[in-house]
Every structure is written in structure tokens, then in C-alpha cells.
């Protein structure tokens, strides 16, 4: 791909700006400051960081919206609004009042340190930076023609550099910039397309049924499982981290409701861009590259660079956030829970762990080179394990330790084996059930069988 020097200059300015904003006046020695910004996250910053960190797999959105039309909004939008609003109205204030530092800490406090460690394994899956390492690598590969593996490594290393010393403070400061850029970038391309190609109403009338259907030709069961994967919101570790970092419980609740509104707006923008890409580009266009190819085809000098900066901002805001959350989970909640490592500072363990999770993320990005497959696989395995124990603890209705241990062990194993056997058998799942369902069924069954007596008391491990 050939970019004009002006567009290349805009992209370089973006990288330099993110680097400077991320490292300027952010160094801290306090663990609470490093992980949670000292619990001083205000409403505007809370909204901007929630929105900007929710869309890192923008090439996955490109792939799905170009291939299946408005069902992109049904699968990657609607479920998250439902669960986001539910979190705001029922969970946000309760979660903030716990005064914890991470999601596994909730389970560790109720069920002991081993439960916290086991929960951390599944949190690491949900917070894995792998999908966003892959996305950034694909973009750099497209821009610069770099070998994909080299592009993946380069993107991962850059994202680590500017958050290493500042932690969440660095992430929040860069998220503010990236929030503006991601909206601006997609606004620019939609305006240009509406003026130079056709307006959205005329576009709609030219689309085939496959792109105007709510299902996009997918099976009802496939659509429904993605809806349940939207419950990811309830146990998303980055989501929880932001809630714990707010100054008040009220900000946590109001901020999520505002974030849902901005999610809705951005989903409309990206889905509409996918419809334009399907209509404008030749059929042989690779769907994951559709947004990038479309920008190159229709945008003039300068605006092209601005659009690509918006895409980069969308990806990097999520990559740096997930890298930090994964580092906290591995460094504090797993490694730091063992006596052998208690002589090391928590911040040091988190920083070393961020390097480790990025290395693992790079391997996974190369091994499973599809953003949607990574989302689906991680969500299918981890959500059934975490959903019920976490919500029961937040609502002060804890389960027995036996029930929690079984819930953190059996459902994810069942989902994984169901997924694995389906993959071996050319994606033919037993009884046509997606892997998420048997995992969630096991979780509900454990809840019913091992429901604790309200009078039962436990001694900490």
C-alpha cells in the first residue's frame, strides 16, 4: 500500500503523541495508583476509557459487517447494550462499594486464595491482548508491508513501552486522545462516502437481503450464543477495573449508561462503513482488510491518514488496557499470591507479568490468526466459569466453596472439549449446540445442586 507523505506524517504524529501523553508525568510507586489511578477516575474520563477500550478488534468488525451486514450490530452491539445497562443498574454501585483492586480479588475474599487463583486463569483469557495484538499487526502489515509476525511483535512492544511506568494513569490519558480520534476517523469516511458515492438511504436500497437481514444468513443458535457472550460485560476485567477506579459509586453507574449511548453511536458508524465497503469494493476484497482498503480507495490526501489514525486509536486503546489488566491478574492475583514472591513489590511483578502476557499473546495471535475466532474461543471457555460465582459474590449471596471450585473447573472444561471435538469434526457440534451452552448449563446445574444454606459459615483458607 502506498501512502502519501502527509498521511504517513499524520500516523507518525499520532504514535509520537500517544507515546508522550502516556509517559509524561505518569510514573508512580503506589500500587493503588498504578492499578486504579488512586480511585480518582472522573465521569468524563470514565466514559471515554470505557468506550475506547471496547472496540479493539476493529478488523473483526470490518470482517463481519462487510460479510454479513447489519447482523454485525445484532451480534457485536445489541447484547452489550443489554448487559451494559444491566451492569449499570444492578451491579455497578455494588461492585464499586467492595473496594477491591481486581475481579479475582472478589472471589478470593469470599472463597479463599485458591478460588482467586483459579478465577485468575479465566480472567487472563478474557483480558488476553492476543486479538488486539493480531489486529495491530494486521494493520501494520497492511500499511508497511512488514512480515505479519514482525508487525505483530512491533505493535505489541510499542504498546507496552508507554504504559509500563504509569499503569492505569497512562492508559486513561491516552484513551482520552484515542476516544476523540476513533469517532473523528469514522465520521470523516462516512461523510466523504455520503457525498461522493451515495447517501445511506440509497445505499440501503441497493443491498441484498443477506446484508439487510438481522441474522445475516447465520443460524439462530449462532446468533443467540453471541448474545450470551455479551454477558462478557458482567465479568470483563477491564470493565471492572474502571468501575473500581471511579471516585464514587454514582459515577460508576451514570458513566456506564453514557458509555452505552456512545457504543450505540460508534456501532452505527462502523456497521454503516461495512455496508459501504461491501457495496463499493470488488467482491475479492479480503473482509478483514475492507475498512483499510476502503479508506485507501475513497479518501483524499490528509483525510486518509486521519481515518487510519482513528483505526489505530481504536485498536491501541484496547491493547494497552488488556495488557495492563492481564499483567495485574498474573502478577498480583496469581504470582503475588505465593509466599515465594512476597518479597517483590507488586508493581514489579505486574510489569514483569505484562511482558509475559504479551509474549503469550504474540504466540496466540500467530497461532489463531482470526480476531472473531479469538473472541469466540475465549468467551466460550471463560464466561461460564466466572459469571455466576462473580455475580453471586457481588450480590452478597455467596456459594459454597465446593460449588465455586466446581464452577471454576467443570464448565470451562466442558465448553473447551465441546469446542475441540467440534473443531476436529469440521465444526459439527454435538446436537448442534454451540460450546457456550453446555458450559453455562453445567454452571447452572452446579448452582442448583450446591446452593448453600444462608446460615453456613466458612473459615478462610
Per residue in 43-75, pLDDT tens? Answer: 999 999 999 988 877 888 898 899 999 998 988
Domain 5-370 has CATH 3.30.70.141: no
Residue 428's pLDDT band (cuts 50, 70, 90): low
Confidence band of 459 (pLDDT split at 50, 70, 90): very low
pLDDT in tens, 266-289: 999 999 999 999 999 999 998 888
Digit-coded pLDDT (tens) for 235-254 = 888 889 999 999 999 999 99
| pLDDT tens-digit readout, 380-391 | 888 888 888 888
The secondary structure of the chain, three-state, reads CCCCHHHHHHHHHHHHHHHHHHHCCCCCCCHHHHHHHHHCECHHHHHHHHHHCCCCCHHHHHHHHHHHCCHHHHHHCHHHHHHHHHHHHHHHHHHHHCCCCCHHHHHHHHHCHHHHHHHHHHHHHHCCCHHHHHHHHHHHHHHHCCCHHHHHHHHHHHHHHCCCCCCHHHHHHHHHHHHHHHHHHHHHHHHHHHHHCCCHHHHHHHCCHHHHCCCCCCCHHHHHHHHHHCCHHHHCHHHHHHHHHECCHHHHHHHHHHHHHHHHHHHHHHHHHHHHHHHHCCCCCCHHHHHHHHHHHHCCCCHHHHHHHHHHHHHHHHHHHHHHHHHHHHHHHHHHHCHHHCCCCHHHHHHHHHHHHHHHHHHHHHHCCCHHHHHHHHHHHHHHHHHHHHHHHHCCCCCCHHHHHHHHHHHHHHHHHHHHHHHHCCCCCHHHCCCHHHHHHHHHHHHHHCCCCCCCCCCCC
Better-scored residue on pLDDT, 359 or 4 = 359
Rounded average pLDDT over 290-298: 93
Amino acid at each position: 500500500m502506498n501512502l502519501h507523505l502527509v498521511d504517513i506524517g499524520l500516523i507518525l504524529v499520532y504514535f509520537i503523541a500517544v507515546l508522550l501523553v502516556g509517559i509524561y508525568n505518569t510514573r508512580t510507586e503506589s500500587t493503588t495508583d498504578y492499578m486504579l489511578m488512586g480511585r480518582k477516575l472522573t465521569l468524563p474520563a470514565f466514559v471515554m476509557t470505557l468506550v475506547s477500550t471496547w472496540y479493539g478488534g476493529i478488523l473483526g468488525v470490518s470482517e463481519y459487517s462487510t460479510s454479513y451486514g447489519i447482523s454485525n450490530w445484532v451480534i457485536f452491539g445489541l447484547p452489550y447494550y443489554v448487559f451494559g445497562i444491566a451492569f449499570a443498574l444492578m451491579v455497578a454501585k455494588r461492585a464499586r462499594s467492595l473496594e477491591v483492586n481486581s475481579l479475582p480479588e472478589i472471589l478470593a475474599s469470599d472463597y479463599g486464595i485458591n478460588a482467586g487463583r483459579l478465577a485468575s486463569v479465566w480472567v487472563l483469557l478474557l483480558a488476553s491482548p492476543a486479538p488486539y495484538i493480531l489486529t495491530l499487526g494486521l494493520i501494520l502489515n497492511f500499511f508497511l508491508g512488514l512480515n505479519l509476525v514482525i508487525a505483530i511483535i512491533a505493535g505489541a512492544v510499542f504498546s507496552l513501552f508507554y504504559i509500563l511506568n504509569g499503569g492505569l494513569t497512562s492508559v486513561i490519558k491516552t484513551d482520552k486522545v484515542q476516544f476523540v480520534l476513533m469517532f473523528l476517523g469514522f465520521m470523516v469516511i462516512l461523510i466523504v462516502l455520503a457525498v461522493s458515492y451515495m447517501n445511506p438511504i440509497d445505499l440501503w436500497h441497493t443491498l441484498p437481503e443477506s446484508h439487510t437481514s438481522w441474522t445475516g444468513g447465520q443460524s439462530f443458535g449462532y446468533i443467540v450464543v453471541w448474545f450470551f457472550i455479551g454477558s462478557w460485560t458482567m465479568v470483563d476485567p477491564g470493565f471492572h477495573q474502571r468501575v473500581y477506579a471511579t471516585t464514587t459509586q454514582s459515577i460508576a453507574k451514570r458513566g456506564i449508561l453514557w458509555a452505552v449511548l456512545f457504543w450505540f453511536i460508534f456501532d452505527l458508524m462502523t456497521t454503516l462503513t461495512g455496508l459501504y465497503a461491501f457495496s463499493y469494493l470488488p467482491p475479492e476484497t479480503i473482509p478483514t482488510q475492507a475498512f483499510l482498503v476502503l479508506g485507501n480507495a475513497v479518501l483524499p490526501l490528509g483525510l486518509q491518514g486521519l481515518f487510519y489514525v482513528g483505526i489505530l486509536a481504536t485498536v491501541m486503546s484496547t491493547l494497552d488496557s488488556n495488557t495492563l489488566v492481564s499483567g495485574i491478574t498474573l502478577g498480583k492475583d496469581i504470582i503475588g499470591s505465593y509466599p515465594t514472591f512476597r518479597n517483590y513489590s507488586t508493581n514489579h511483578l505486574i510489569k514483569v507479568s505484562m511482558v509475559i502476557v504479551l509474549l503469550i499473546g504474540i504466540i496466540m495471535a500467530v497461532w489463531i490468526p482470526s480476531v472473531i475466532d479469538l473472541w469466540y474461543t475465549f468467551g466460550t471457555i471463560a464466561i461460564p466459569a466466572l459469571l455466576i460465582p462473580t455475580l453471586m459474590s457481588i450480590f452478597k449471596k455467596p456459594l459454597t466453596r465446593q460449588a465455586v471450585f466446581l464452577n471454576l473447573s467443570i464448565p470451562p472444561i466442558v465448553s473447551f472439549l465441546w469446542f475441540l471435538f467440534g473443531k476436529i469434526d469440521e465444526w459439527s457440534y454435538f446436537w448442534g449446540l454451540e460450546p457456550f451452552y453446555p458450559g453455562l448449563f453445567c454452571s447452572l446445574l452446579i448452582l442448583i445442586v450446591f446452593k448453600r444454606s444462608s446460615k453456613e459459615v466458612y473459615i478462610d483458607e
